[in-house]
Amino acid sequence: MDAAVRAEGLSKIFRVGFFARRVRAVEDLSFEVRRGEIFGLLGPNGAGKTTTIKMLLGFVRPTRGRAFIGAAPAGSLQARRDLGYLPENPALYEFLRGDEYLIFAGRLAGLSRADAQKQSASLLERVGLAGRADRPIRRFSKGMVQRLGLAQALIGDPHTVILDEPMSGLDPIGRKDVRDIILSLRDERRTVLFSTHILSDVEAICDRVGIMVDARLTDCGALTDLVAPGARAVELTLESATSELVARLQAQGARVLQGDRSAVFTFAEEGAARAALEASVAAGATVISFLPHRRSLEELFVARARGRAATS
């Protein structure tokens, strides 16, 4: 019961067009965001991140499964009360001034006028808009809109903050600022869930990450587990390996690239590779090379995305 956000077997099928073609946006997604952590939902365009977030907020009804914010069902008043949200492409009221908009958002979040004014002033400071928000939003640059959207997500002091692509449209300094703000939210013991397709954002600030590809969660866990410094992939290259040996190594989990004379076996972790090395020597194969290399998050991500391309 200690999760700040929980998804249990969430699925969403959209029906589009005259023939109600089925689009599987999210498929059997289960994960938890723990209290006080920064969780990154990483996935390429169209993976289903926004749809997942909208189900967590209660904006989109799941076809199957359930979601909770704390103990409260997603979408319930109780769930929304303590939640801040930055949409993917925030469409803010263009004719309001930035500072007025923020006060308005604070009033919607249930703050008194005085509290809304106080919080909005300190939030404008926090997102780097102090002294620049006294003009209509339509005169804001893209980065300023994103910053104002972030301030809006934080007004009312929510314990859990869900941000859909918070760094999008920002220049390098803006990205760094937003990362720092997200880190400061964790320092205040808030929970942050954000989506992105940019690996470096995840690598820089997340405690745990979920990788989403083609509607499914392919990996979920601490960054250090997914790309543990110790968890190294190994490439073993052999010459004159018998077909029995090739079959045996394949059965032990190796990916095989068979050439004319040599074969390259890739093992996901070093232990299995060492066992294979011994077996190969015992079977009389010639060892050409044994090359461990560290798996980066990028490799993992690319491998997952390629896997999708290969199956679809």
The footprint of ligand ATP (CB under 6 A) covers 14, 16, 23, 25, 43, 45-51, 88, 197
Output 88 or 207, the one with its CB closest to Mg ion.
Answer: 88
Alpha-carbon distance of 39 to 146, in angstroms, equals 20
Residue number, nearest CB to Mg ion: 50
3-state secondary structure the chain: CCEEEEEEEEEEEEEECCCCEEEEEEEEEEEEEECCCEEEEECCCCCCHHHHHHHHHCCCCCCEEEEEECCEECCCHHHHHCEEEECCCCCCCCCCEHHHHHHHHHHHCCCCHHHHHHHHHHHHHHCCCCCCCCCEHHHCCHHHHHHHHHHHHHCCCCCEEEEECCCCCCCHHHHHHHHHHHHHHHHCCCEEEEEECCHHHHHHHCCEEEEEECCEEEEEEEHHHHCCCCCEEEEEEEECCCHHHHHHHHHCCCEEEECCCEEEEEECCHHHHHHHHHHHHHCCCEEEEEEEEECCHHHHHHHHHHHHHHHC
| Closest approach of ligand ATP to the CB of residue 170, in Å | 16
| Closest approach of Mg ion to the CB of residue 165, in Å | 6
| Closest approach of Mg ion to the CB of residue 47, in Å | 8
According to the binding rule CB under 5 A, does residue 50 interact with Mg ion? yes
According to the binding rule CB under 5 A, does residue 11 interact with Mg ion? no
Among the residue ranges 44-52, 207-215, 216-224, 269-277, the one whose residues contact Mg ion (CB under 5 A): 44-52
| Closest approach of ligand ATP to the CB of residue 187, in Å | 28
According to the binding rule CB under 5 A, does residue 152 interact with Mg ion? no
Output 6 or 49, the one with its CB closest to Mg ion.
Answer: 49
Q: Which does 23 bind (CB under 5 to 8 A by kind): ligand ATP, Mg ion, none?
A: ligand ATP
Q: For residues 75-104, which are near Mg ion according to CB under 5 A?
A: 88
The amino acid present at 68, given as its one-letter code, is: F
Q: Which does 47 bind (CB under 5 to 8 A by kind): Mg ion, ligand ATP, none?
A: ligand ATP
| Closest approach of ligand ATP to the CB of residue 32, in Å | 20
Output 47 or 245, the one with its CB closest to ligand ATP.
Answer: 47
| Closest approach of ligand ATP to the CB of residue 15, in Å | 8
According to the binding rule CB under 5 A, does residue 52 interact with Mg ion? no
Q: Which residues bind Mg ion (CB under 5 A)?
A: 49-50, 88
